[in-house]
Amino acid sequence: MLRRLLRRQPAELLDPASRVNPDAVVDCAIYVNGERRPGRPHYTDAYDRCRRDRDAFVWLGLHEPDAEVMTAVGRVFGLDELTVAQALADGHRPAVQRHGDVVLLVLRTAGYVEHAELTEDSEVIDTGDVMVFLGDRFAITVRHGATGALAPVRAEIERRPALLAEGPWAVAYAVCSRMVELYLEIAGHLERDLERAEESLFARNRAANIQNLYQLKREVVEFKRAVLPLQAPLRTLLEDDPANPPRGLHRWFLDVDGRLARAVDRVATYDDLLTSIVQSRLAQLAVEQNNDMRKIAAWAAIAAAQTGIAGIYGMNFTHMPELGWRYGYWGVLGAMALAALTLYRLFRRSGWL
């Protein structure tokens, strides 16, 4: 299907007057020496202008493009069929890949979902992904999922023209910095969730539900999968390689790597802490079940004493003691009550009841 679309020339390329960015295009801008040029041109016109100016590049932002749009974009920017197919899929693992002259940087987006209370089906972390395609005169960001909107990233980097003048790699830095910033914010929210989980676990009424804790554990693991795998790709960008970011951006990527390390440490700590909380709750459940079994066993022993006495005197043998005693019935009832009271006091003293 992609091969057929690649062969088909879009109508918007044949008629320049009809060139209107598709709905999947969130923004398209030309930057010259770190300054944004006015307007929002069609990405074809923008790239043509940038190729004629060595100090210019275009930043095209896409959100969940379909095959037709992504194929048309690939034709304009020289992306191969495999690269286009990767842009159409979501759920990628963080990575840095090189396809000829194009560098692909994949990151996982994450967002914290506010919730009044934690339940067994609460969604705490919402994840997606963003792919950054970097060429000599362009940066293309393709985002999947509701989280990780890049409008704040663009607004922030446009206020720093000296940094933006470094070219397309400045966009990669801005996206990485924003994602790591979100990771740290989410880590702060998770810390409060864990504090509430600990409080409910050790509260007097023991309100913590094991299903709720397992759900929080699953959400933390999902967040961990977004954060931890980014370390290795990000550090490859810090190596001395002509294909890596320019030296002017090296210290900025180094700062992102340091913040990412803090986020990784916090997420790993929270994961271990939550594992300990789950194990503590399971231990509490085991103790509670053991206490219940002791209570059941104690009451069964008390009932067994009554059953034994009643069973003996229910055999109706002719020569049984006290069968002719006038107060035998009340005497047996008294013996049963005394046995029950004695056993009850013994079990209470030992903590079984």
According to the model, what pLDDT value does residue 203 have?
65
pTM: 0.76
Which pLDDT score, from 0 to 100, does residue 15 have?
46
Which tens digit of pLDDT belongs to each residue from 191-213? 888 888 777 777 666 556 777 77
> Phi/psi of residue 108, each to 5°?
-95, 130
Range 218-222 contact pairs with CB under 8 angstroms and sequence separation of 24 or more: 219/122, 219/123, 219/124, 219/125, 220/124, 220/125, 220/190, 220/267, 220/270, 220/271, 220/274, 221/271, 222/125, 222/127
- Reported CATH class of domain 2-284: alpha beta
Per-residue pLDDT tens for 293-323?
888 888 888 888 778 777 777 776 666 666 6
Question: H or E stretch including 231?
Answer: helix 231-236
- Name residue, tokens 């395609």: 133
Provide the pLDDT for residue 147: 81
125 burial (CB, 10 Å; 0-12 / 13-18 / 19+) is buried
Domain 286-350 has CATH 2.60.40: no
What's the sign of the alpha-carbon dihedral 129, 66, 123, 219? negative
**SS3 label, residue 110:** strand
| Whole-number pLDDT of residue 208 | 60
Q: What per-residue confidence (pLDDT) applies to 9? A: 42
pLDDT of residue 18: 47
- Per-residue pLDDT at 156: 93
Residue-range domain boundaries for the chain? 2-284, 286-350
Q: Which residues of the chain have pLDDT under 50?
A: 1-18
